[in-house]
Structure 1
Amino acid sequence: MKIVKKSLTLLLALAMTLSLASCGKETEKEPTVEETPITTRVAALKGPTAMGMVKLMSDNEAASEEGSEADAAQDGYEFTLAASADEVTPSLMKGDLDIACVPANLASVLYNKTGGDIVTLAINTLGVLYVVENGNAVQSMADLTGKTIVASGKGSTPEYALRYLLTENGLNPDADVVVDWKSEHSECVAALASGAATIALLPQPFVTVAQSKMPDLRVALDLTEEWDKLDNGSALLTGVVVARKDFVEEHPAAVETFLKDYGDSVSWVNDNTADAAELIAGYGIVDSAAVAEKALPYCNIVCITGAEMKEKLSGYLQVLFDADPTSVGADPADESTGLPGDDFYYGA
């Protein structure tokens, strides 16, 4: 009996020793990289891409102000709003930004320029471009012959979409139409308001901004509709969300968190236009909530990811490439450049 008791005692002691050793190992376990909260640096342009992000921006700001332990244990964001892509691109390429909302074709240009170091996470804006006019002379693309159009976005989606549609409608973009390029959309609105121009190419929400100042200004052409008339299997896209490849590889959990947060923000903005308009005005993206609320239904704000993103974006880039290879960053002197490879499309 004593032997049994002694054996039982030894077994219990051994079990306790193993248990304590196991606990010690758990305590000493090193946290993984993704368990360490990071601040994801995000930039968006003042327009539809930033409009879809306002709920995320607001929630992030509220969490930062609360400063609770729970918030400190989660990933956060640092947002930058810019007037043009030229302000965003250098910071992204230098590594000062992790994620950025940029024109769709610029994403491909950056992919080629960096040797594949740019990844597209989502499509965030479908077609939002319109030709507006003080008058009634323009009823079709052909009616733009001999006209002067003020526009912003040279070297990005507005220029290439306009050139492509003019060409497909039998016009020479370099001879039949004069495009007066401005640095910002607000300059185009000012030119219309002063009478210096009567026709402009504008995206939403700047169309609504212009109409609020000039009640007689009308939408002459919806470029999305004009593109769809071609029935070429592609769609007109405006903006996408891109990230640095090294950020995606080093912080996969942060990327997934961002996509969920951004998708939720887009859904909220589209479902709550009045409240979203207040945030949009509060962040200075649009001058007034009334204008933002009126423009939102025409801004085509989305968050399309994965295979659907690849299908739509690759089709759009193919159209641009066929029209002008340099529009997607292809260099005729460099065979390594061209349409992006599969690694350009995150999650597809």
Structure 2
Amino acid sequence: MGTTQQQHHATITRRAFASGLATIAIGLGITGCSSNTDGGSNAGSGMNSSSEGAEPTTVRIGALKGPTGMGLVGLMDAAGMFAASDAAATDDGSSGDAVATDTPVGTDPAGIGALENDYEFTLASSADELAPQLIQGDLDVLCVPANLAATLYQKTEGAVTVLCVNTLGVLDIVEAGETIHDITDLAGRTIYSAGRGSTPQYALEYLLRENGIDPETDVAIQWASEHAECLAALQADPSIVCMLPQPFATSALAKVEGARIALDLTEVWDETVAANGGNSQLITGVAVARSTFAWQHPAAVEELLDAYAASVGFVNDDPSAAAQLIEAADIVTAQVAEQAIPYCNIVCMTGAEMAGALTGYLQTLYDADPASVGGAMPGDDFCYGA
């Protein structure tokens, strides 16, 4: 089975499984986000322009190979994404349309029930691979870093809306040693991390500044394109530290001798915000939809959110069973997934609760650096159902 560092990702569809189609591996060469979208009209160009109401449709979902994808595996199973043994393999060694697993499948462990709509899932290692597909209308829903959702909202003039918060804080500082016990211990150190331009960068810089460390001069931050590069750097030089999200932080403990989680940045965030008189939560990821899709298919959005909540509940309540599906989806190994799930803060927060938490988090980022959220706070239409 392939790893999260592979250069291709597989799009797995319920219809393809049902008809026995061969596996398709789609190589993505797109990076960055298009800013040429003309409001909501162009953002919806990839779908039928007429409203179908409650007519069944296909919901095309993009997610990352991390906690956002992990929270979806119950829905993937309910949608018929996993086959017991007959999945074909792609050229890069990952599974495709019907994903093989030794775990009994098709039993709907999340209790989702029959689905009215079809679902397609595209998993990738980087949001940069998937964001252009949302803007171009090739995806309907995309799980992205929270600050990227705000940036997309600004770039598309409001053509995306947040359906739910799906991941709270998952960032950890990992070291091979016993030298870091407080965030101030990071002064003078070299920190490797992926996620430049998204939640990891802005959360780290905020925490450093608020704790008296200048991220430009007091530390050396090396930005990698993938988490695997950070892990390789730590293996080569145990004197460095890494900022890794779960489940990759858990994976590092097994791969680097003496590695430990030195700081849980969610705890550091809570302490720092409280010391400043604030009350925001650290939010890693959200699920956004093209606004036109949400307006034209409210019943599909309702089904998705209900199924998503059930899927998240299953993953959190039964990490062992969920871990098998997570491995089958080629996210991380079952062993790592089972160990990491309790620390992944996978949620499905909607409505007013979502709006309050997300607004507080984005306001904290905006106050520190307006560019981190696209230059302005999103409008009232940013949060769906709020």
Match of 1:192 among 234, 247, 250: 234
Secondary structure at the aligned position of 1:87 is classed as helix
Match of 1:47 among 66, 75, 83: 66
Report sequence identity in percent: 55
Match of 2:363 among 301, 318, 329: 318
- Measured after TM superposition, the shift of residue 36 of structure 1 is 2.7
Counterparts of 1:177-216 in structure 2 under 5 Å? 177-195=219-237, 198-216=240-258
- Measured after TM superposition, the shift of residue 135 of structure 1 is 1.4
1:224 aligns with 2:266: yes
Q: Which residue of 2 aligns with 1:250?
A: 296
CA distance in 2, matches of 1:110, 1:182: 22
Q: Which residue of 2 aligns with 1:122?
A: 164
Secondary structure at the aligned position of 1:137 is classed as coil
1:344 aligns with 2:382: yes
Deviations 1:172-213 (A, max 9, x none): 111111111000112111221233763000000001111111
- Measured after TM superposition, the shift of residue 257 of structure 1 is 0.7
Q: Which residue of 2 aligns with 1:38?
A: 57
Secondary structure at the aligned position of 2:330 is classed as coil
Unaligned runs of 5+ in 2: 1-50, 83-96, 99-105, 107-112
Q: Which residue of 2 aligns with 1:171?
A: 213
Q: Which residue of 2 aligns with 1:135?
A: 177
With the length of structure 1 as denominator, give the TM-score of the two structures: 0.84
Q: Which residue of 1 aligns with 2:196?
A: 154
Which residue identity lines up with residue 323 of structure 1 in the other structure?
A
CA distance in 2, matches of 1:73, 1:298: 30
Secondary structure at the aligned position of 1:61 is classed as coil
Give the structure with the larger helix fraction. 1
With the length of structure 2 as denominator, give the TM-score of the two structures: 0.76
- Count of matched residue positions in the alignment of Structure 1 and Structure 2: 305
CA contact (8 A) 1:150 1:197 kept: no
Secondary structure at the aligned position of 2:215 is classed as coil
Which residue identity lines up with residue 188 of structure 2 in the other structure?
G
Which residue identity lines up with residue 325 of structure 2 in the other structure?
L
Deviations 1:131-173 (A, max 9, x none): 1111122111111111100000000000000000000001111
Secondary structure at the aligned position of 2:352 is classed as helix
Match of 1:100 among 133, 142, 151: 142
CA contact (8 A) 1:92 1:244 kept: yes
Q: Which residue of 2 aligns with 1:294?
A: 339
Deviations 1:93-141 (A, max 9, x none): 1111000000000000000000011100000000000011111221111
Counterparts of 1:241-280 in structure 2 under 5 Å? 241-280=287-326
Deviations 1:265-286 (A, max 9, x none): 0001111110000011111100
